[in-house]
Structure 1
Amino acid sequence: MDTSLHSMTTLFQQLGLPHQDSDIEGFIAQHRLEKSQALAEASFWNANQARFLKEALEDDADWAEVVDQLDARLRY
């Protein structure tokens, strides 16, 4: 069982994205979700990233809290 704490940095690493603070802020500034759009359905994710995000939330996995934080930050 993975007991490490997950952060936005480690989430971006897990997603295979640049993960420096400036990279994360740039990503969030560049990408937005509509109110009713599910995070995993956004067009800017590849299939593996979308699956990971969807499963993290559905399974209420260790990643769910930071995935929720990302979701909130991507909203208009």
Structure 2
Amino acid sequence: MDTQPNNMQTLFEQLGLEGDDESIEVFIAQHYPLPDNMKLSEAPFWTPGQAAFLNEEIVEDAEWAPLVDELNARLHKNVST
């Protein structure tokens, strides 16, 4: 059983990306800002598997959804609530 708490680092690792703080900040800086009308899961830099994971977590309001929302906010200038 996985008892590690979910945070931005573990989300990045779940996506197969480097999860240290510096790598996360570099990733966000490289991809910011996404167009306002682009869903996070539709961004062109995700692999099909990553995009599906992000979409499923939001659609199903699953375990990772709060962190996916946070990443979405960090990659968009304006996020409607």
TM-score category of the 2 structures, normalised to the smaller one:
over 0.9
- Counterpart for residue 24 of structure 2: 24
Change (3 A) 1:49 1:22: same
For structure 2, list consecutive stretches of 5 or more residues without a partner in the other structure.
Answer: none
- Counterpart for residue 73 of structure 2: 72
Change (3 A) 1:63 1:3: farther
1:6 shift after superposition: 1.3
| Partner SS, residue 5 of structure 1 | coil
- Counterpart for residue 48 of structure 2: 47
Change (3 A) 1:6 1:49: same
Change (3 A) 1:59 1:2: farther
Using the aligned pairs only, state the percent identity.
53
Counterpart CA distance in 2 for 1:5 and 1:73 is 20
TM-score in terms of structure 1 length: 0.93
- Counterpart for residue 59 of structure 1: 60
| Partner SS, residue 43 of structure 1 | coil
| Partner SS, residue 70 of structure 2 | helix
Say how many residue pairs are matched.
Answer: 76
- Counterpart for residue 12 of structure 2: 12
For structure 1, list consecutive stretches of 5 or more residues without a partner in the other structure.
Answer: none
TM-score in terms of structure 2 length: 0.87
Root mean square deviation, CA, Å: 1.5
